[in-house]
Structure 1
Amino acid sequence: MLRIGFKASMVAAVAAAGLLAACSSGGGSSSSSPAPSSSGAPTSSSAPTTSAAPMDITIGVSFYTERIPIYATMHEGVQAKADELGVNVVFTDANGEAATQSDQLANFVTKGVAAIICSPADATALVPAYKAARDAGVFMISAGNKVADDQEDAFVGPDLVDYAKQTMDKLIEAIGGKGDIMIISGPPQIAFVQLQQMGWDASLAAHPDVKVIATGVDDDLSPAKALDVATSLLSANPSVKGIMSSTDNISVGVIQAMEGLGIDPATVATAGWDAQADAVKLVAEGKYTLTLSYLAYKWGEVALQTAVDMVNGKMPASHYVTTPGLFIDKANAATLTPDQISGKTAL
């Protein structure tokens, strides 16, 4: 089993915190590349290359919830790569419930899968399920969110700390380098939220004229909850210049809150992640400043290829198989195709 560390700051944050993933209760469906580089972001230098695979490999996939568009797109990428390689995939969806996910990982082991791709819901709660799978000889590959390095066999995904720093840098640039901002994040036990915070903090430390005057949490990662949270925060802080959100779902709710309060969204800089279709539309309309695409289709392909390679004895060069992303703003939102935004086709 591969045990290679990454950035010390990231390892420390992850080891101390609970992380998020999803898997569907009930049965899944079965089936029989370098990604484009991001604007100002690292490229996927450690991504695996396509390799042949035996027909009898089955991979379990446990996403956070496909109610969030990025996971649905990753599902498509995983399935496409599985079809290409001729391996079987079983998908589950835990709707963000760690207990449900733990049961589903155990069920994967019982079914005899060779590897599991998982976006863990909680680092502490999922460790026993990860350990049981690995003790049974099943490779555990985290994607999107993670547990501590020594509890998993590999992590596939973007450098979340670096992207978070870049996103905050861009938001600060949009407000002119100074002023008051708010942050609305996802649940604090989720890995990507913790790693986002590290990147945001790094950017804010370099911009002393920017002040975070209010924060909120959207436990559901839903526009409806974000609408309530943002309405409360904006009512108390109507002159805020920028709002950072963990995801586009939150940002959509933030923009709805501004419109409900009579605030022109074009006058407040906003940023988030996922590049889902409704958010990209808002960017093109000038209501949303920027979003980050994880190129989720390609991300899913890389995750599946990594799992198959590991089953076939080809370990990744690093514990972290990094995947790129793409920032989307008013300059490119109207020209990018959905397939380019998802990573299904090259830019």
Structure 2
Amino acid sequence: MKKTLVSLVMVCVMVILLFSGCNQKPADSGKDKKVKIGVALASEAQYRFKFDQKIMKEKAEELGAEIIFQFANYEASKQENQVENLISQDIDVLILNVVSGNMVNLVNKVKSQGIPVITFDNTVEGAEVDLNVDRDNVKVGRLQMEAALKHTDNKGGNFVLVKGDPGSAVAQRISQGYDQVSAEHPEINIVANQFHEAWSPDKALKTVENALSANNDNIQAFICSADSVAMGIVPAVKAAKLDGKSFICGMDVEVSVAKLIHEGVITMSIWSDIVKGDQRTVEAAFKLAKGEKITPDEVQDIAGIKVPVLLVDVMPVTKDNLKQWINEIAPEGWITEDDVFGSK
């Protein structure tokens, strides 16, 4: 009788446990959880970022991930608030295009939450990020300076350096490329050398107006770190009647600059392969979110910290290869032949 009673109690306990287990959710191993990617971009005003957003979104959808975008419009405090908002939305990984290269504390805050950080198109020096995705900006600076020197038949002359934002690691590393080439070529005479906050076209224009005035319009090259500042200086160059004579370059090959390349006003702009770069960035973010390893192109020493890096290919776009770039390389929707050459 006692054995029968014990057996009955055990059966009841097993039935209760069975039914209570049926009402519980299975533990989330993390493997089936949808990856959530946060993207904090410095500005919505820059032409290329709307394409970055489109390309990244398409790749995230292809991988089955959710992706959330924020734009700070070059305001550091705004970007900090936006990143905190992304953290509150339980992102699994952050792609961070910082307003300033000095935002180590922001990176540390994200990392303290156990969230991997990928810096994108701008480096945060001194931050232990999981990955940095960027073009070789020192190479960009060298390409621009070497093209300017070639434009002068290697004679050199008076050069004006129209740089980007002083807080941007991109602008700083491009500047290193300028310094390297100018040190190698004493025939280059730097008559003006200026950074410009927020890549301001208006401030760039003022720099060039002052340089032209101080040198009686005797300037052979205007080396601009981006298309925004290159476009800003064009009125001053035209007023000095140096358009089509002096070298002018930029970076990003925006539509307005492509037109001026065709017209011979701007000599060259540097193109970065944003399609492949964006796709690789999202693929890496997806892997990091799932705890998988990534294979970088190289490991760079950035301010004393070893940082894995994915490199984005760059190429110069000139009048000679402009049509090929439009038809074969530029992302869909960026530009058409009609935009540059006009409708036939």
Q: Is the TM-score greater than 0.5?
A: yes
State yes or no: 1:148 paired with 2:137: no
Residue 268 of structure 1: aligned partner: 246
> Greater CA deviation, 108-117 or 210-219?
210-219
CA distance in 1, matches of 2:332, 2:193: 32
Q: Secondary structure at the match of 1:70?
A: helix
Residue 326 of structure 2: aligned partner: 337
Indicate how the Cα distance of structure 1 residues 152 and 312 shifts in structure 2: closer, same or farther if over 3 A, else same. same
What is the aligned counterpart of 2:149 among 154, 165, 172? 172
Contact 1:58 1:89 in 2 (8 A): yes
Residue 66 of structure 1: aligned partner: 44
- Spell out, residue by residue over 1:197-239, the C-alpha distance to the aligned partner (whole angstroms, 9 max, x if none): 1111111111111110112333232433333332232222311
What is the aligned counterpart of 1:212 among 190, 194, 213? 190
Indicate how the Cα distance of structure 1 residues 289 and 97 shifts in structure 2: closer, same or farther if over 3 A, else same. same
How much does 1:122 deviate?
2.5
**TM superposition score normalised by structure 2:** 0.79
Contact 1:180 1:240 in 2 (8 A): yes
- Spell out, residue by residue over 1:50-97, the C-alpha distance to the aligned partner (whole angstroms, 9 max, x if none): xxx966111111111121112222122211211211211111111111
Contact 1:231 1:257 in 2 (8 A): yes
Structure 2: any 5+ residue segments left out of the alignment?
Answer: 1-30, 297-307, 335-344
Residue 220 of structure 2: aligned partner: 241
How much does 1:186 deviate?
1.3
CA distance in 2, matches of 1:309, 1:338: 33
Indicate how the Cα distance of structure 1 residues 288 and 123 shifts in structure 2: closer, same or farther if over 3 A, else same. closer
Percent identity reads: 22
CA distance in 1, matches of 2:180, 2:79: 33
- Spell out, residue by residue over 1:23-51, the C-alpha distance to the aligned partner (whole angstroms, 9 max, x if none): xxxxxxxxxxxxxxxxxxxxxxxxxxxxx
Indicate how the Cα distance of structure 1 residues 342 and 257 shifts in structure 2: closer, same or farther if over 3 A, else same. farther
Contact 1:298 1:343 in 2 (8 A): no
Q: Secondary structure at the match of 2:206?
A: helix
CA distance in 2, matches of 1:160, 1:262: 30
How much does 1:287 deviate?
0.9
Contact 1:74 1:299 in 2 (8 A): no
**TM superposition score normalised by structure 1:** 0.79
The one-letter code sitting in structure 2 at the alignment partner of 1:170 is A
Indicate how the Cα distance of structure 1 residues 343 and 222 shifts in structure 2: closer, same or farther if over 3 A, else same. farther
What is the aligned counterpart of 1:254 among 216, 233, 244? 233
How much does 1:264 deviate?
3.3
How much does 1:152 deviate?
1.0
Indicate how the Cα distance of structure 1 residues 339 and 231 shifts in structure 2: closer, same or farther if over 3 A, else same. farther
- Aligned-CA RMSD value: 2.1
How much does 1:240 deviate?
0.3
How much does 1:296 deviate?
2.0
CA distance in 1, matches of 2:266, 2:291: 45
Residue 29 of structure 1: aligned partner: none
Contact 2:37 2:93 in 1 (8 A): yes
Structure 1: any 5+ residue segments left out of the alignment?
Answer: 1-52
Q: Please show how residues 259-338 of structure 1 align to structure 2 within 5 Å.
A: 259=238, 261-318=239-296, 319-337=308-326
CA distance in 2, matches of 1:119, 1:339: 27
Residue 116 of structure 2: aligned partner: 139
The one-letter code sitting in structure 1 at the alignment partner of 2:132 is F
The one-letter code sitting in structure 2 at the alignment partner of 1:332 is N
Contact 1:292 1:326 in 2 (8 A): yes
Residue 39 of structure 1: aligned partner: none
CA distance in 1, matches of 2:316, 2:144: 8
CA distance in 1, matches of 2:32, 2:275: 23
Residue 80 of structure 1: aligned partner: 58
Q: Secondary structure at the match of 2:81?
A: helix
> Greater CA deviation, 87-96 or 166-175?
166-175
Aligned pairs, number: 291
Q: Secondary structure at the match of 2:288?
A: helix
- Spell out, residue by residue over 1:139-174, the C-alpha distance to the aligned partner (whole angstroms, 9 max, x if none): 110011011364211101111112221221111111
Q: Secondary structure at the match of 1:105?
A: helix
Indicate how the Cα distance of structure 1 residues 87 and 54 shifts in structure 2: closer, same or farther if over 3 A, else same. farther
Q: Which has the higher contact order (CA 8 A, sep 6+)?
A: 1
The one-letter code sitting in structure 2 at the alignment partner of 1:296 is I
The one-letter code sitting in structure 2 at the alignment partner of 1:171 is A
CA distance in 1, matches of 2:127, 2:107: 11
The one-letter code sitting in structure 2 at the alignment partner of 1:269 is F
Question: Of the two, which has the highest radius of gyration?
Answer: 2
